[in-house]
């Protein structure tokens, strides 16, 4: 990958030298890890445990997690579960 010289349009400090890119070993490692992540994600999502919880409870908990991920405004108080 081609590097670049520090200029006004780049926010970092200093030049970036040319990069040889990822080695074949690094590419294979990334591919292996992504494949493992897909398998493990499916195992979690499809686990029989989730069928034991009522859908309404799952939706409510998911919504709570989404609200917690959003930034709070000053003076906001989180809702009680």
CA distance 61 to 67: 10
Q: Give the pLDDT confidence score for residue 69 in this predicted structure.
A: 72
23-64 pLDDT, tens digit per residue, is 999 999 999 999 999 999 999 999 999 899 999 999 999 898
Per-residue b or e along 27-37, where b marks 16 or more CB atoms closer than 10 Å to that residue's CB: eeeeeeeeeee
Domain boundaries, the chain: 24-69
**Is the per-residue pLDDT at 20 higher than 70?**
yes
Report the mean per-residue pLDDT for the chain: 82
Helix (H, G, I), strand (E, B) or coil at 16: strand
**How far is it, in rounded angstroms, from Cα 23 to Cα 57?**
47
pLDDT at 37: 97
Helix (H, G, I), strand (E, B) or coil at 46: coil
């Amino acid at each position: 990958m081609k590097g670049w010289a520090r200029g006004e349009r780049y926010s970092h400090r200093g030049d970036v030298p040319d990069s040889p890119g990822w080695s074949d070993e690094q590419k294979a490692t990334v591919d292996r890890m992504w494949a493992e992540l897909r398998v493990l994600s499916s195992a979690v999502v499809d686990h029989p445990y989730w069928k034991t919880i009522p859908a309404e409870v799952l939706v409510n908990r998911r919504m709570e997690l989404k609200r917690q991920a959003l930034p709070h405004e000053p003076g906001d108080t989180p809702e009680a579960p």
